[in-house]
Chains A and B, each alone.
Chain A
């Protein structure tokens, strides 16, 4: 059958006329241009991890400059910045933070969680043999690959890399402020990245709606699936808005239109603020696109490793849906200082504040899940707990920025930097690590090293809290973002020692990731072989071998219970284990 259409035929539960298809024989179809969701998931994971390392390195250079403005970067300075004798020049600095943000958001965190674990987990967790549109899935990865190639090329252009910030506001990002081809390549890369995301989103949404195994009702789906599915809905709705902004910006840069360049009395023109609207209509949902899968993963892992069902599962799902709905109507808080009308300002303030209610309900669910559990502090569990802690800190600081009055002072300061790093970067990264440590056995068939993982966790959590927590303090004291040398201002000079502490914590954080890299590669080759169900949990991916066979399920499973049936005394009495696989009939 045509691989590009919904292959529901594959889904028939026990029809001998439709056995699981054989894997392709050729190397190219099996490894490179594969349509297997598990292979594509691993491809996204590799791509994301490589760019995580790149963007992390850029962060180290940023932190070096903020700790020691004007001092040559040790070791690599001469290689990276030969023209300035190893010193990060103002132009280089603007390129560093632009590329750090762009890569982290669009090319590292999104590919790891949504591309990597979205692809790998979604079909397995709902009992499907593959995505609804396997060819589209492959195209999604290769479109992303093209985007990364273009973005990488932008590093090596004559006038230097893109430097208008990850938000790339006009008119700084138009020919007025950014001549040279780099910014045009940035726009193209973002557009293609968005196209890839939308392809993935359409696929995930369809797969969840149509491909759930018999008995896998919406309220029996793992929270991971809920998170990925809701994130995909936001992706499908809002990424096209960013794409529209990117197209208009591309026209302004290449064809001389003036959508975002203000006019004058004699020359008609557009409005730079229009782009900010388009960007944030997408940009605010984007932070939820990043965190929703991580929330879902944390919700599942807290339940699995507390050995009891997720507390108030349906309430948690309701809170997630409420946040998704609200996320579409709050973007104005990013623009409180653009001269927005007071009425709009107050409206966006109230709507944004409302998000705290479902967020707190989410937190109650997490705490209720671990409370009175039988907690096992495995590495994935530790990272999930870290996510809860870090997101808590970041989430509460969001209230400051939702408040117009406080935001007028805190806008564009390091308070914002600390806040969004805690919520949509550190929390998401901790979620990504939790996912890697948890699903590595299923993905690669081997276990990761636990003691090394725990050390990685401890160092990462402490340094994340110090680094980004102190950034909140710096912002509270008034320090603006994106200054190559804050000591240019007298009122910021007393903050320079604190900047050095932030940098030292960040350097330790960076170094700690070496533990992860070592663990990852060592385990890939020499880790102990993973059993089918190393964590003793009941979701469907653990009912098949590690790694799963080509089409996952020889027979499409029939689902009887929810994902978190742990610690059920009846199951314990009947079978001697404390978990209930979703595809087994529960004891009467």
Chain B
């Protein structure tokens, strides 16, 4: 009964909006299939034994010590998992990481840079403004609202004001911790426009569940239009004396 309900409700991965998400989905799929086969095989053998070899009347097959074929069985099973699942997953993951998730767009002039400061319980986003330099009076600042271009790399540097948070984009299959005293980084590339949720994945206090933001991927024209409005707002709100608000940092070079 519960299984039937569960199957009917079986949810899939969230929609993939990232240019690199398919790499993760492929590895997840590979692991799901191979481990499901391995686990089913194990269950099948176990059930067969329970059905065929059960009961007081049976005489158990006595073996003693480790015979060469026992050793062989262990080696074969280990090798199948090592080369059939582990090695394939490691190689595919490492290549996806090196060609995508870990290949930060440091030299890319098209990369769209944003600084993220997490706090209990909100996300602060700082855009460099017209001068392209962070922590200057023309910075644009938004709360819980991240606006980025679709089709270009988005490059984030993150830190936290108080406790450890984790910046999680389910639709982009990625996350990174925001840690006080440290700047971490993350990049992704939206492949389509639309609004997606930003979640906090690390327990950060009682209102952790409310630490929700929205990411909007815009076309270049929409982005320019929004930047114009936002820059005007930012200029109005800018207060040179409010040192608390100047929590940006000069963009960190690649480590």
Q: Do A and B associate with each other?
A: yes
Taking a contact as CB atoms under 8 Å apart, the answer to whether A370 and B206 are in contact is: no
Tell me the B176-217 residues at the A interface (CB within 8 Å). 176-177, 179-182, 184-185, 197, 199-210, 212
Chain B residues near A307: list those with CB within 8 A: 60
| A584 interface contact, C-beta 8 A | no
Binds B, one of A193-201, A243-251, A487-495: A487-495
Taking a contact as CB atoms under 8 Å apart, the answer to whether A411 and B175 are in contact is: yes
Given known A-B contacts A90-B209, A368-B70, A411-B201, A406 and B24 have beta carbons under 8 A apart? yes
Given known A-B contacts A177-B163, A263-B181, A501-B2, A489 and B173 have beta carbons under 8 A apart? no
Taking a contact as CB atoms under 8 Å apart, the answer to whether A367 and B49 are in contact is: yes
A485 to B211, CA, bound (A): 12
Taking a contact as CB atoms under 8 Å apart, the answer to whether A176 and B163 are in contact is: yes
Taking a contact as CB atoms under 8 Å apart, the answer to whether A312 and B60 are in contact is: no
Tell me the A545-579 residues at the B interface (CB within 8 Å). 566-569, 578
| B90 interface contact, C-beta 8 A | yes
Taking a contact as CB atoms under 8 Å apart, the answer to whether A408 and B24 are in contact is: yes
| A512 interface contact, C-beta 8 A | no
Chain B residues near A165: list those with CB within 8 A: 203
Chain A residues near B245: list those with CB within 8 A: none
- Binary per-residue interface labels of chain B (48-67) against chain A in the complex, 1 for a CB within 8 Å, 0 otherwise: 01100111111111111110
Chain A residues near B62: list those with CB within 8 A: 308-309, 567-569
Taking A169-B203, A365-B74 as known contacts, 20 extra A-B pairs with beta carbons closer than 8 A to each other, sorted by chain A number, are A90-B209, A93-B206, A170-B163, A176-B163, A177-B204, A308-B63, A313-B65, A313-B66, A346-B90, A353-B90, A357-B78, A361-B78, A403-B27, A405-B23, A406-B31, A408-B24, A483-B208, A491-B171, A491-B197, A567-B61
Taking a contact as CB atoms under 8 Å apart, the answer to whether A309 and B64 are in contact is: yes
Chain B residues near A91: list those with CB within 8 A: 206
- Binary per-residue interface labels of chain B (98-129) against chain A in the complex, 1 for a CB within 8 Å, 0 otherwise: 10011000000000000000001000000000
| B11 interface contact, C-beta 8 A | yes
Tell me the A392-412 residues at the B interface (CB within 8 Å). 392-393, 396-397, 399-400, 403-406, 408-409, 411-412
| A364 interface contact, C-beta 8 A | yes
- Shortest beta-carbon contacts, A-B, top 9: A262-B181, A339-B184, A372-B61, A405-B93, A567-B60, A412-B201, A396-B35, A477-B11, A308-B60
Chain A residues near B168: list those with CB within 8 A: 412, 480
Chain B residues near A486: list those with CB within 8 A: 209
Name the distance in Å between B32's Cβ and chain A's nearest Cβ. Answer: 8
A409 to B26, CA, bound (A): 13
The contact of A400 among B31, B175, B210, by CB within 8 Å, is: B31
Name the distance in Å between A372's Cβ and chain B's nearest Cβ. Answer: 4
Taking a contact as CB atoms under 8 Å apart, the answer to whether A392 and B27 are in contact is: no
Q: Which of B64, B96, B209 has the most CB of A within 10 A?
A: B209
| B166 interface contact, C-beta 8 A | yes
Name the distance in Å between A380's Cβ and chain B's nearest Cβ. Answer: 15
A392 to B120, CA, bound (A): 39
Tell me the A236-278 residues at the B interface (CB within 8 Å). 261-263, 269, 271-273
Taking a contact as CB atoms under 8 Å apart, the answer to whether A375 and B53 are in contact is: yes
- Binary per-residue interface labels of chain B (1-16) against chain A in the complex, 1 for a CB within 8 Å, 0 otherwise: 0110110011111100
Name the distance in Å between A461's Cβ and chain B's nearest Cβ. Answer: 13
The contact of B46 among A370, A413, A497, by CB within 8 Å, is: A370
| A473 interface contact, C-beta 8 A | yes
Chain B residues near A90: list those with CB within 8 A: 206-210
Chain A residues near B9: list those with CB within 8 A: 497-498, 501
Taking a contact as CB atoms under 8 Å apart, the answer to whether B35 and A272 are in contact is: no
| A385 interface contact, C-beta 8 A | yes
Chain B residues near A354: list those with CB within 8 A: 82, 86
The contact of A473 among B10, B57, B101, B199, by CB within 8 Å, is: B10
Given known A-B contacts A385-B50, A412-B168, A466-B6, A308 and B61 have beta carbons under 8 A apart? yes
A376 to B56, CA, bound (A): 7
Chain B residues near A147: list those with CB within 8 A: none
| A356 interface contact, C-beta 8 A | yes
Chain A residues near B59: list those with CB within 8 A: 374, 567
Given known A-B contacts A165-B203, A367-B49, A388-B46, A314 and B170 have beta carbons under 8 A apart? no
A306 to B55, CA, bound (A): 9
| B81 interface contact, C-beta 8 A | yes
Taking a contact as CB atoms under 8 Å apart, the answer to whether B2 and A392 are in contact is: no
Chain A residues near B235: list those with CB within 8 A: none
| A172 interface contact, C-beta 8 A | yes
The contact of B28 among A409, A411, A505, by CB within 8 Å, is: A409
Given known A-B contacts A409-B28, A498-B6, A309 and B63 have beta carbons under 8 A apart? yes
Chain B residues near A567: list those with CB within 8 A: 59-62
Q: Which residue of B lies closest to A508 (CB)?
A: B2
The contact of A350 among B46, B90, B98, by CB within 8 Å, is: B90
| A478 interface contact, C-beta 8 A | yes
Chain A interface extent, by class: 35 or more
Given known A-B contacts A372-B53, A404-B97, A478-B14, A364 and B209 have beta carbons under 8 A apart? no
The contact of B6 among A271, A374, A470, A566, by CB within 8 Å, is: A470
Given known A-B contacts A337-B175, A396-B39, A567-B59, A406 and B97 have beta carbons under 8 A apart? no
Taking a contact as CB atoms under 8 Å apart, the answer to whether A94 and B205 are in contact is: yes
- Binary per-residue interface labels of chain A (350-394) against chain B in the complex, 1 for a CB within 8 Å, 0 otherwise: 100110111011011101101111111100000001001100110
- Binary per-residue interface labels of chain A (489-529) against chain B in the complex, 1 for a CB within 8 Å, 0 otherwise: 11100110110010011000000000000000000000000
A481 to B201, CA, bound (A): 7
Name the distance in Å between A293's Cβ and chain B's nearest Cβ. Answer: 22
| A158 interface contact, C-beta 8 A | no
A312 to B5, CA, bound (A): 41
Taking a contact as CB atoms under 8 Å apart, the answer to whether B39 and A171 are in contact is: no
Taking a contact as CB atoms under 8 Å apart, the answer to whether B177 and A337 are in contact is: yes
Name the distance in Å between B111's Cβ and chain A's nearest Cβ. Answer: 18
The contact of A338 among B2, B11, B94, B177, by CB within 8 Å, is: B177
- Binary per-residue interface labels of chain A (394-435) against chain B in the complex, 1 for a CB within 8 Å, 0 otherwise: 001101100111101101110000000000000000000000
A474 to B6, CA, bound (A): 11
Name the distance in Å between A587's Cβ and chain B's nearest Cβ. Answer: 14
Q: Which residue of A lies closest to B35 (CB)?
A: A396
| A73 interface contact, C-beta 8 A | no
Selected A-B contacts with CB under 8 Å, 23 pairs: A91-B206, A93-B206, A94-B203, A94-B206, A163-B206, A169-B202, A177-B204, A262-B179, A272-B164, A272-B181, A309-B64, A315-B74, A338-B179, A363-B77, A372-B49, A374-B60, A389-B43, A389-B46, A397-B35, A404-B93, A405-B101, A406-B31, A478-B13
Chain A residues near B28: list those with CB within 8 A: 400, 406, 409, 476
Taking a contact as CB atoms under 8 Å apart, the answer to whether B53 and A356 are in contact is: no
| B243 interface contact, C-beta 8 A | no
Taking a contact as CB atoms under 8 Å apart, the answer to whether B74 and A361 are in contact is: yes
Chain A residues near B24: list those with CB within 8 A: 405-406, 408-409
- Binary per-residue interface labels of chain A (6-43) against chain B in the complex, 1 for a CB within 8 Å, 0 otherwise: 00000000000000000000000000000000000000
A55 to B2, CA, bound (A): 25
| B142 interface contact, C-beta 8 A | no
| A482 interface contact, C-beta 8 A | yes
Chain A residues near B232: list those with CB within 8 A: none
Taking a contact as CB atoms under 8 Å apart, the answer to whether A482 and B203 are in contact is: yes
Chain A residues near B11: list those with CB within 8 A: 473-474, 476-477, 494-495, 498
